[in-house]
Each structure stands twice: as structure tokens, then as C-alpha cells.
A = this chain, B = another copy of it.
Amino acid sequence: MPPRIRQTAAEADAVLVSQDVLSRLKGDILDGHFAPGARLRFADLQKSYSAGIGTLREALSHLLPEGLVELDANRGFRVAAISAAELRDVSALHIEFERRAIVESVRHGEDAWEAGLVLAFHRLAKIERLSREERKQRSSEWVAAHRDFHRALVAACPSRWLLRLRAQLYDHMERYRLISQRHRPLGPAKRAEHEAIRDAAVARKAELAGELLAAHLRETTETVLRHAPQFMPAPP
């Protein structure tokens, strides 16, 4: 397990220490820094994140209902396990929610949404144009830009709850994706697919955008599943 821990964001929009710790901890779980099933000891976390025990418990309690960590009484917190079966379960729901959300988003989106989408795509494309080497070094930027792009696609969906659930599932899918990529070369750039989805959305072809997005996600899941051996539980 690499010793590097997510640092406090320079932008630091998190006014509360607990929220800063929360987002760093979540990022470190999603990108596989903490392996699935790994115990999260307070002594370690305290050093890594320079936060008190109470603050750490607060962040971990937040991650509990999100399903990213688990708690057994008096034995502390563990990173949630992963499995091929759960990936299939999460993915199926996730794809469906994304499709529904983008369809509604395209139908309801106004100018501001369209502008936000074009901007988000631009930022993502800019990073993807960098050299392979540089992309590797700034991979967390790519992750953020990719996330922002997918969020921009569905941002105009009027159902706050659909967006909320979509976000939960997106997190879990991202974890599977990042873990599966952890020890192998970066997957092929998906820029063409992203571009096609953006075009369909801007052209207000809701159903088409939904279909393209669903296909994009289906393929990603299949790629991850093809590298599924590493999903077997980690040693205690």
C-alpha cells in the first residue's frame, strides 16, 4: 500500500476540518489507497490526516451509510469489501440512473447547463490531450475532471433524489474502476465517446444521449469485470 496520503486541497473550500478529512478519506478509499477490507486504525489515521480521533470518527460515520466503510462494534472501521457480484449489482442500477438522469437533464437543461457542460468537456479533453507521462502524474486531476463532466451531463435533471442516488452509485463505480486500473496501464482514452455524448446532449437528442451514455458505462463495467481476479477479498 503506497504511503502517500491525499493532502488538504489547496483550494480548501472545506471550512470544517471534519469535511476536509471526509473528502480526503473518501478520495483515498475510492482510488484504492486503502484496500477493500483493510482495517482503518485510528492511530494511523491520526498521523496521516493530522486530525483528532473524534474528527476521524465523524468522517467515518459519514462514510458508513454511503457504504464505503463498515463498522463492527469494538473492532473499529474497515474499508467495504468489493466483489464481482456487487459490481454487477451496482453497475446495473448505476447505468439505469445515469440514463434516466441524462434524459431528463437534456429535456430540462437551459443555457447555463449547456454552457457548464461544454466547459466541463473542454477541461476533461484538455487533460486527455496531455502526454501519457503527464497524465499519469496528474491523474487525480483527470479523475476530478471526468467526474465533473459526468455530473455536468445530468446536472439539469429536476429530480434531486435521482441525482442523489446517482451520485452514490457513481462513487462506488469509480472505486471499482480506479482499483482495477491501479496496477495496469491506463485504459484507452474515452474521449471520442465523451464527445459524442456531449454532442447529443447539446443537440437535445435526449434518448440518443441516454443510449450513448449507457453504452459508455456498460463498456467500462465490462472492461473492469474482465480484470476481476483482483476483486477477491484482501488478506486480513
The A interface, classified by DSSP as helix, strand, loop or mixed, is helix
User: Which residues of A in the span 6-20 have a Cβ within 8 Å of any Cβ on B?
Assistant: 15-16, 18-19
Judge whether A64 is part of the interface by a CB distance below 8 angstroms.
yes
Given A93-B161, A165-B93: A15 in contact with B64 (beta carbons within 8 A) = no
Count of identical protomers in the assembly: 2
With contacts A57-B54, A74-B15 taken as known, whether A161 is within 8 angstroms of B89 at the C-beta atoms is yes
A131 CB → nearest B CB, Å = 38
Q: Closest residue of chain B to A16, judged by CB?
A: B73
Partner of A160, one of B58, B59, B74, B89: B89
- The reply to whether B161 and A73 contact each other, CB–CB distance below 8 Å, is no
Which residues in chain A, 57-88, are within 8 Å of chain B measured between CB atoms? Answer: 57-59, 61-62, 64-67, 73-74, 86
Taking CB atoms, residues of chain B closer than 8 Å to A164 are: 67
Seen from chain A, the residues whose Cβ lies within 8 Å of a Cβ on chain B are 15-16, 18-19, 54, 57-59, 61-62, 64-67, 73-74, 86, 89-90, 92-93, 159-162, 164-165, 169
